[in-house]
Amino acid sequence: MSFRLPAPVLLALIGLAFVTLVGLGVWQVERAGWKANLVATRNAQLAATPLATDEARALGASGLDYRLVSLTGRWDADHLMILANRIRFGVKGENAVEPLVLPGGEAVLVDRGWYPVEQRDATLAKLKQQTSTTATGLALDASGRQASRTAAGTWTGIAPESMSVGLSYRVLPWIVVEGGLIAENAPAPTSYPAQGFERYVSDVSHVEYALTWFGLAAALVVITAVRFVIEPRRARARLEAAEGAPRP
């Protein structure tokens, strides 16, 4: 025994599905506009003058996200940390993360750059020998990030809250990627650590998602029209043709 929903109930469900699909499409269109504004805003910030230490600290993590900074402090080379399994230019490597202790005693974690695994000892020794007290680069909001330390002593990601455990000072909830803007199609580096950051881009195609939802809504309309309009008409036409045919 087959079960069929009454036509009014089925039409109501189809209407609900149609409204949902159109709503999802509209939402993706709005997301596309929001993301376009975000990309434009963040990349425009790259043309601004880097914020000094006091200015950066006053803004806080959310206000600093994707802003250029130029910080002055003291490097804590004794607590330099490593991010493992970082692939760049098709080569397996690592990133060095070092706390920069700012005036007042708080610190910010600085991604000091990438290097191939075999260059670890030379790169870390080079960083520890540097006497510069300034870090210039891109600040990012790292609030809520979590990372774990591996058995080898490396880290799975850069996360101030996780990495600050065991340190004698407070670590701020934002990080800095040291260096400048990396040009598109830049060649592989010849010296390490390779520093810098890329221009912000969006890899999510909200327009394609919107077209998908709208397409599904349109397909639902076509299917409904076939089911409730075209097929009944064809059935009536076949029945009328059969009734009007001469009997043998």
Beta bridge partners of 116: 93
The residue-averaged pLDDT of 138-156 equals: 95
pLDDT on residue 123:
95
Domain end among 143, 159, 178: 178
72 and 174 assigned to the same domain: yes
pLDDT on residue 3:
67
Across the chain, mean pLDDT equals 90
> What does the pLDDT look like over 159-178, one tens digit per residue?
999 999 989 999 999 999 99
Contact 113, 191 (CB under 8 A): no
The residue-averaged pLDDT of 18-41 equals: 92
24 and 75 assigned to the same domain: no
222 and 100 assigned to the same domain: no
Centre a 10 Å sphere on the Cβ of residue 158 and count the other Cβ atoms it contains: 20
72 and 95 assigned to the same domain: yes
135 and 105 assigned to the same domain: yes
Q: Does 88 map to a domain? A: yes
101 and 53 assigned to the same domain: yes
Contact 146, 76 (CB under 8 A): no
27 and 128 assigned to the same domain: no
Contact 178, 113 (CB under 8 A): yes
The residue-averaged pLDDT of 124-131 equals: 89
Domain limits at 237? Answer: 7-40+205-244
Place of tokens 């700012």: 102
pLDDT on residue 71:
96
pLDDT on residue 91:
92
Distance CA 119, CA 135 (A): 22
169 and 217 assigned to the same domain: no
78 and 162 assigned to the same domain: yes
Burial class from Cβ neighbours inside 10 Å (0-12, 13-18, 19+) for residue 204 reads: exposed
